[in-house]
Structure 1
Amino acid sequence: MRSQSLFKPPLTLEQIKAIQDRHPDDPDVRALLWEIRRLFSIVARADQLARSLPGEMGSVGMIVGALKEQIANEPSLENSRRLSAEMEADRKGVSGYKHPSEKE
């Protein structure tokens, strides 16, 4: 049995925002939202680590593989991955973006 099957599907960022909008002044909801944000940060760091490690490394490879599988569809990573891709494109000069300090 996979660990993800123990949980309901992850909330999307839009669903979390809707909860926040329904309870803007509730200190308990605000505390939970900050905890979610903290956990999003940990998931993003785990994703970076998993992507940086080689695939085949014995038992470590199995753990990394399980981690990659578990976080593969995390909605919280969508924005992080998009920003990483944009930064990589900028680094390679693919996007055409110029920093404001660069002259035309």
Structure 2
Amino acid sequence: MELCVNTKLSLSGASANVKIYTISENICNEITSIINNISLSELMNLVGRHGGCEITSDNPLTIKTCDNEIEVVVSPANLLARMGWGKAVSKARENCKGCQ
């Protein structure tokens, strides 16, 4: 996989470092077209279009799509993010039910 996105996203003062790896330029282009306005729901819609997802690590939070085309690695970037990290991981687990 190749690194497609390496950025920091913020929500209500909490910041997270986000790295997204993909297997193809087409998928990377799809991601980079939405990354500036990405939300959790958009991210989950994206992985849903790739067969769902599974979480392979909590810290950093590592999400892989079931078709193995995308890997998202998220880590807290500030104190506020670290304080709410457990809730963020729980929310990701609610949306990421695993692969069959």
TM-score interval, normalised by the smaller of the two chains: under 0.3
TM-score by length of 1: 0.23
Normalized per residue, which structure has more strand? 2
Larger C-alpha radius of gyration, 1 or 2? 1
TM-score by length of 2: 0.23
